[in-house]
Structures are given as C-alpha cells and as structure tokens.
Amino acid sequence: MSALEGSLYEIAQIFLAPVLLLILASLAYSFLLLGSFAVEVWQRRNPSFRSVFLDEASRSGASSDDLELRILKQLEWPRIVSRSTPMLGLVATMIPMGPALLALAENDTANVGRNLVVAFSAVILALISASICFFVMTVRRRWLLQELRLVEKAREARHAVS
C-alpha cells in the first residue's frame, strides 16, 4: 500500500470503536424509548387518560404553530436515531471489511471470520435500533397530532361560542 492508502486505512480504523459505541448507545436508547412507549400504550388503554402534551397544550394557550414545534422537539431524538443509526451500521460494516479482505488474501480464515462477525453484528443491532425508534416515533407522531387537533377543535368551539 502507498502511504496515502495506508493513512486512509489507519484513519478509518480509528472510527470503528466510536461507531460501535454509538450503535450500542442508540440500541440502549431505543430500548428505553420502547419501554416508555409500552407504558404509554398501557396508560392510553384507560378511558380517563390525558397526556402531558394535551394538558400543557390546553393550559398554555400556545398557538398551533408553537404546539407543532413542541411536537417536533419531542420527536427529534427518535427521528435522529432512526435515521442515523443505519448509516452507523453501514460504517461499522465497512470498516472491518478491509481487514477481512486482507486476511482473505493471506488465507487467514480466522481473522476473516472475526472481522465479519463484528461487521454483521453491528449492522444488525443498528437496524434493530433504528426500527424500534422509527416505529415508536411514527405512532407517537400520530398520537400527538391527534391531540393537537383536539386542542384546535376545542379552541374553535370556544371562539364560535364567543
């Protein structure tokens, strides 16, 4: 390898550990998000359930635009994780492929196997994390937009009476 190619290879290798840590962090976040979502699903089964968003929106008197911004803010991290984690999985797949291909050229099947295990495990965990976050984000977005519509209807009804 030339000096430039060797440098690129070394720089890429530096990113493997941080990317793997980010994938693990996103997986932990997605399971926490899934747990809080399960609790919320359980709470919503109660007919008297009233969400924190609905309470705050009703009390605050904030405009619909402000409430939409609040919804976007609440869904921001699940959206970021669901969109960025698959890319991290791809990075974590590609970085070990270089050493795996080098090991394959040297008939070192043990190293090929070790590198491929890291590559495929990382992408699987990244996709699981992204899928969980995407699912929770999609359902919560619908809930929040339905609640926003309820607030808007209540305001319209109050203005019609006035």
How many H-runs (helices) and E-runs (strands) does the chain carry? 5, 0
Q: Are 83 and 77 in contact (CB under 8 A)?
A: no
Residue 68 has pLDDT above 90, yes or no: yes
* pLDDT tens per residue across span 107-152: 999 999 998 999 999 999 999 999 999 999 999 999 999 999 999 9
DSSP codes of every residue in 43-101: HHTSTT---HHHHHHHHH---HHHHHHHHHHHHHHHHHHHHHHHHHHHHHHHHHHHHHH
pLDDT for residue 32 is more than 90: yes
Residue 1 has a pLDDT of 65
Angstrom distance (rounded) from CA 59 to CA 54 = 9
Residue ranges per structural domain of the chain: 3-161
91-109 pLDDT, tens digit per residue, is 999 999 988 988 989 999 9
Phi, psi of 45 (to 5 degrees): -70, -20
Contact 126, 23 (CB under 8 A): yes
Task: Name the residue with tokens 């359930």.
Answer: 49
The pTM (predicted TM-score) of the whole model is 0.89
